[in-house]
């Protein structure tokens, strides 16, 4: 992440002049991409045509995440042809989608910020429907690609992952991985929206935990025309790890003992019951020496784990106590003075 921030800062001066940065922007579209040389110009033209119909001011921030083809050359040409509209950030290497979005969010000037993928699978004609949903009072609107035109190698793991996220976090979305989202500016400016690793897919979960209203709409999904998908088994496995992380951060971060105490209690109780059963069985049924029964040591280990869980919870509570900051305990939507 530090390297990505260094790359971001190095190119910050190329994004906007003072005159352009003072201009009011209605919509910012952030597009992180990698090796999409055939798609990027087509995508720009489609976005441009759609937003011009809306009559709104806009900017498009392309984040080249370490492309090895001619993607940057195409982006550079678009920037020269459309000064003040097309901004380009070029990373030194592939850092991932989350750093790409962070770089775009830091430079976004629009009242509404969209994120889209650069592979032409997201349809810019859906932009008005996102804006309509935001006007209903929502703060973040995410897309549901329906029907999804991807191979089963992508759709099946994604369906399992979405189901797990829905059940574990309480954020009931059909397609949390969809990169086509719209945010009110307050969401991306929330100081507690801390994006690192691959947390970009969990932005709706983080936003809802902060009190923002999240909605989902069905959107048109197009099959990939050019290039290859960046999805793989490794990404799915990383997503599961990040899910456990985000679940802890949004649920138990401020009350860690509520997670560790039940784990410790039930582990200890289970260990006691197992050892009690072994002792009673040895004396009243099979008359086998206790030390020759492996389950005895399983029970002892469970009791040790139970104590360790409880101590870990107390230690976490101590860290929580000394790291306490008042402004992290709530999120103010509006204040009348």
Q: Is the pLDDT of residue 219 over 60?
A: yes
In whole angstroms, give the CA distance from residue 173 to residue 171.
6
Residue percentage of the chain with pLDDT more than 90: 50
- pLDDT tens string 45-80: 999 999 999 999 999 999 999 999 999 999 999 999
Tokens of 301: 């280990």
Spell 324-336 as b/e; 16+ CB within 10 A means b.
eeeeeeeeeeeee
Neighbours of 235 (CB within 10 A): 16
Residues shown for the chain: 337
Half-sphere exposure of 97 (CA within 13 A, CB side): 20
E strands, the chain, are: 25-33, 58-64, 86-90, 110-115, 140-145, 181-184, 214-219
Residue 330 has what pLDDT? 62
Sign, Cα dihedral of 123, 128, 131, 136: negative
Helix, strand, coil % in the chain, rounded to nearest 5:
55, 15, 35
Counting beta carbons within 10 angstroms of the beta carbon of residue 76, is it exposed (0 to 12), middle (13 to 18) or buried (19 or more)?
A: middle
Tokens of 272: 């006691």
105 contacts: CB under 8 Å, gap ≥ 6: 30, 113, 188, 195
Residue 237 has what pLDDT? 72
Q: Is the pLDDT of residue 275 over 70?
A: yes
Question: Collapsing DSSP states into helix, strand and coil, what is residue 318?
Answer: helix
Question: Collapsing DSSP states into helix, strand and coil, what is residue 327?
Answer: helix
- pLDDT tens string 167-187: 888 889 999 889 999 999 999
In whole angstroms, give the CA distance from residue 128 to residue 131.
5
What radius of gyration, in Å, describes the C-alpha atoms of the chain?
25
323 band by pLDDT with thresholds 50, 70 and 90: confident
Tokens of 259: 């997670």
- pLDDT tens string 93-132: 998 899 999 999 999 999 999 999 998 999 999 999 999 9
In whole angstroms, give the CA distance from residue 44 to residue 16.
19
Q: Is the pLDDT of residue 143 over 70?
A: yes
DSSP label of 177? T
In whole angstroms, give the CA distance from residue 201 to residue 223.
21
Q: What is the DSSP string of 72-98?
A: HHHHHHHHHHSTTTEEEEE-SS---HH
284 band by pLDDT with thresholds 50, 70 and 90: confident
* pTM as predicted: 0.75
Cβ atoms of residues 217 and 283 within 8 Å: no
């Amino acid at each position: 992440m530090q390297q990505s921030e260094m790359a971001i800062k190095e190119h910050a001066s190329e994004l906007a002049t003072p005159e352009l940065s003072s201009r009011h922007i209605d919509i910012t579209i952030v597009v992180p991409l990698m090796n999409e040389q055939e798609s990027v110009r087509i995508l720009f033209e489609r976005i441009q045509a759609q937003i011009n119909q809306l009559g709104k001011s806009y900017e498009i921030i392309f984040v080249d995440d370490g492309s090895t083809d001619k993607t940057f050359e195409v982006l550079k040409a678009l920037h020269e042809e459309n000064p003040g509209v097309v901004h380009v950030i070029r990373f030194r290497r592939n850092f991932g989608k989350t750093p790409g979005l962070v770089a775009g969010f830091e430079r976004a000037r629009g009242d509404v910020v969209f994120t889209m993928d650069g592979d032409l699978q997201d349809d810019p004609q859906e932009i008005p429907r996102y804006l309509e949903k935001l006007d209903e009072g929502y703060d973040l609107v995410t897309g549901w690609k329906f029907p999804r035109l991807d191979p089963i190698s992508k759709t099946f793991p994604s369906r399992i992952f979405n189901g797990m996220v829905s059940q574990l976090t309480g954020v009931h979305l059909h397609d949390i991985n969809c990169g086509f989202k719209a945010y009110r500016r307050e969401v991306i400016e929330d100081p507690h929206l801390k994006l690192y690793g691959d947390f970009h897919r969990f932005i709706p979960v983080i936003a809802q935990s902060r009190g923002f209203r999240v909605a989902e709409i069905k959107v048109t999904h197009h099959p990939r025309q050019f290039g290859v998908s960046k999805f793989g088994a490794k990404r799915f496995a990383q997503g599961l790890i990040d899910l456990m992380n985000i679940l802890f951060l949004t649920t138990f971060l401020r009350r860690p003992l509520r997670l560790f105490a039940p784990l410790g209690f039930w582990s200890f109780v289970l260990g006691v019951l197992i050892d009690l059963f072994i002792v009673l069985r040895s004396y009243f049924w099979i008359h086998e020496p206790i030390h020759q029964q492996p389950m005895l040591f399983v029970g002892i280990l469970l009791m040790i784990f139970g104590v360790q869980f409880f101590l870990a919870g107390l230690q976490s509570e101590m860290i929580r106590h000394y790291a306490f900051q008042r402004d992290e305990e709530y999120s103010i939507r509006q204040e009348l003075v």
